[in-house]
Amino acid sequence: MISFKSTNIYLSFILLLFIVSACKKEESLLNDSNAKVNFSSELIAFDTVFTTVTTSTKQLMVYNPYNQKIKFSSIRLAGGNSFFSLNVNGEPSNSVRDVEIEAKDSLFIFIKANINPNNSNNPVLIKDSILFELNGNVQDVDIVACGQDAHFIVADHNVAGLPPYKIVAAEGQNITWQNDKPYVIYGYAVIDSTASLVIENGCKIFMHKNSGMWVYKGGSLKVQGIKDNPVVFQGDRRETWYANVAGQWDRIWLNEGSVDNEINYAVIKNGFIGIQAETFDVSMGNKLVLTNTIIQNMSGAGILAKRYKINASNNVISNCGQYLVALTGGGTYNFVHNTLSNEWSGSTRSSTSLFVSNYIETPTEIVVSDLQALFANSIIYGNLAEEVQLDKKEVANFNITFDHCLMRTTLNDPSFLSCIRNSDPLFKAVADNDYRLLANSPAKNSGSSAYLPTYPLDILEFSRDGMPDIGAIEYNIDDTSRKKR
């Protein structure tokens, strides 16, 4: 028979066990403010091409790498975006509290995107993030989805020393992007060796931050815009405030591309570098034909070339934070009937609009290569007193000619043939990127007719007369049909 006294002892023992157990449970929680969890992915991308009102679901796993239990004070959507919804371990809510994960265990989160891609009021790209707060430390996982019906390209390769990328044209493939939906690029879109990518007229290509296009060794890019339907490369932020913000994406990079790189009637704007074309090792016939293209509002350079071959005509390159055109390390360049005008105001600019050199200086050596360059019937102007820099080493050829150009420069070089120096070209409306000439422009009727057989039309497909104007746009007294882009 158990006595009252023994019963009290038994109850006291049970209570003690409960207290000890409770204390152990509390002590088993990890309290380190530097603790971080692991995720199955740092980015949840809904890459489905939606065709109707659709609910798509993605899965995220959250791993506890510690030997102690952890407790999130909250897991929530950062923006509470109505396009997305969460289910955390079976609990449907966009904000949950006190979520625990046992030691070395994991947590499942399901993310839904509820989007009508045919709603033209949606942004092209819808973004949010999931915030995880653990011991005062916050981690996040980004969520992106197409807000409109689009081709969504997200990087799926992560190689040390390279930017994240996705191969859009594999070796030997010939791929065409049709003008059916916008293209949204998250990372780098890569055209691989011996592959080609054709971009049809009217395509709209939206780049996320730090994203771009990369033509790898021997690859080929053909941009086939037309006057009334150019191909447009721009950032993915569609809010009005971002319409003229530079540096929103990275660059179009021709890395020893083939002889077949052609860009015609494109608008390349609001990035870091418009086109970077370079030869690293040996020439593979590297060539770019750039025609009828607008490159504007780049935080770095419009064109950055190294030992490349570029034929450029009827292009307008304007308003860059550094160079409009930088031709470095030698190469072969023909620039005819181009307008280069740099009125950059986003920061203090010290770089000239045009920079040309026949060498590249590395930390260990100076690499010198022959230069052959022609600038003809072109405007090179800006808001600095000096907009032309020629930098050469005598151990290699530096052959450059400026023929019938309008230039802002203090130089008086033998390479200047019938050039106009330091006269305002009198553009129609620089603030609106309108580089048509006024009737009293000194560029009017001042070009050489020697180039007429090869370049009879300007960027707007107006005929040049027997006394062509300097620049990409021929003056026309009846200018009502000329629209700036």
| Termini Cα distance of the chain | 99
**CA atoms of 304 and 320, how far apart (whole Å):** 12
Distance CA(401)–CA(438), nearest Å, equals 27
- How far apart are the C-alpha atoms of 457 and 292, rounded to whole Å? 10
Mean pLDDT of 393-403: 96
- The answer on pLDDT for 246 being more than 80 is yes
- Comparing C-alpha atoms, which of 176, 184, 255 is closest to residue 214? 255
Q: What is the pLDDT of residue 23?
A: 47
pLDDT tens for residues 260-319? 899 999 999 999 999 999 987 666 678 999 999 999 999 999 999 999 999 999 999 999
Which amino acid appears at position 102 of this protein? E
pTM higher than 0.85: no
Tens digits of per-residue pLDDT, 449-466? 999 999 999 999 999 999
pLDDT of 432 higher than 60: yes
Residue 482 has pLDDT above 60, yes or no: no
DSSP string, 366-382: EEE--EEEEEES-EEEE
β-strand partners of 483: none
State residue 447's pLDDT score. Answer: 98
Could you give the CA distance from residue 205 to residue 421 in angstroms, rounded to a whole number? 38
pLDDT of 477 reads: 78
Report the pLDDT value the prediction gives residue 118, as an integer from 0 to 100. 66
Token pair belonging to 134: 């653990």
Cβ neighbours for 31, distance < 8 A, ≥ 6 positions apart: 135
Q: Which among 330, 437, 444 has a CA at the least distance from the CA of 377?
A: 444
Is 90 exceeded by the pLDDT of residue 479? no
The predicted pLDDT at position 51 comes to 44
The answer on pLDDT for 130 being more than 50 is yes
**Regarding beta strands 416-417 and 420-421, do their DSSP bridges make them parallel or antiparallel, or are they unpaired?**
unpaired
Query: Averaged over 193-213, what is the pLDDT?
Result: 95
What percentage of the chain exceeds 70 in pLDDT? 88
Q: In the predicted model, what is the mean pLDDT of residues 183-188?
A: 92
Residue keyed to tokens 């002889």: 259
CA–CA separation, 329 and 1 (whole Å): 102
Rounded Cα distance, 94 and 356, in Å: 55
In this prediction, residue 12 carries a pLDDT of 52
Task: Indicate the helix (H) or strand (E) that contains 20.
Answer: helix 4-27
Q: Within 10 A of 349 (CB to CB), how many other CB atoms are there?
A: 19
Lowest mean pLDDT among 111-120, 251-260, 294-303, 374-383: 111-120
What percent of the chain clears pLDDT 90, i.e. is strictly above it?
A: 71
Most confident among 92-96, 165-169, 235-239 (mean pLDDT): 165-169
pLDDT surpasses 90 at 409: yes
185 pLDDT higher than 70: yes
For residue 120, what pLDDT is reported? Answer: 64
Distance of CA 24 to the CA centre of its chain: 53
Angstrom distance (rounded) from CA 68 to CA 19: 20
Show the tokens assigned to 409: 């420069």
Lowest mean pLDDT among 53-57, 145-149, 439-443, 472-476: 53-57
Confidence of residue 4 (pLDDT cuts 50, 70, 90): very low
User: ∠ CA(174), CA(180), CA(229), 5° rounding?
Assistant: 90
Instruction: Kindly state the DSSP code that residue 468 receives in the 8-state scheme.
Output: P
- Rounded mean pLDDT, 215-239: 93
Q: Which of 294, 224, 295 is nearest to 264 (CA)?
A: 224
Q: What is the largest CA-CA distance in the chain?
A: 125
Cβ atoms < 10 Å from Cβ of 282 = 9
Say what the pLDDT of residue 476 is.
87
Q: Residue 25: what pLDDT?
A: 46
Give the whole-angstrom CA distance, residue 24 versus residue 43.
Answer: 37
